[in-house]
Amino acid sequence: MNYQPAAAAVVAVCGLVGLYAQNRRTTHHAAEEIKRELEILAALPDKSELRAPLQERVETSLQRYMAEKKHRQRDPFGISLALFLLGVAGLAIWMYLKNGGWWWTSLILAAPCALFGVVGFVTSVVKVERDAAGHKIESPAAEVES
């Protein structure tokens, strides 16, 4: 069996996922923006009308940046479990593709493992507020909107 198209597809998907993840990273951009604004603030004359609004903006951005860094986190156990389930699903699919025959029954195991793996990974990789046990904390504002 020729695995070259499958390998090319895996590389392409990994590249797209990497680009998406890199574009989703906002903390690095926020820190750079705060640093630039601080440099502009330092360069402004003391009697400038823009000094007070810019200082207020920098302080607000810095408070938001620190709050996000402190309280929002991913669920490492959920990510690990999801990756394990995806690995089991991949192994079951690979066994079917390699051996054929009655190995199609391994797809019965692969389907729920892949489903729970994808859903678990997506829900665990998102940065949200979590309690000490790692459970997601729902904010009262989110409950009112639902």
pLDDT, tens digit, for every residue of 52-61?
888 888 888 8
Is 107:93 a contact under the CB 8 Å cutoff? yes
The residues, ordered by sequence, that sit 6+ positions from 137 with a Cβ below 8 Å of its Cβ are: 128, 129, 130, 131
SS3 label, residue 139: coil
Check: CB of residue 121 under 8 Å from CB of residue 128: no
pLDDT of residue 117: 93
The pTM of the full predicted model, rounded to 2 decimals, is 0.49
Q: Which of 102, 105, 73 is nearest to 92 (CA)?
A: 105
Q: What is the DSSP letter of 134?
A: S
Residues 100-139 pLDDT 10s: 888 888 888 899 999 999 999 998 888 777 766 666 777 6
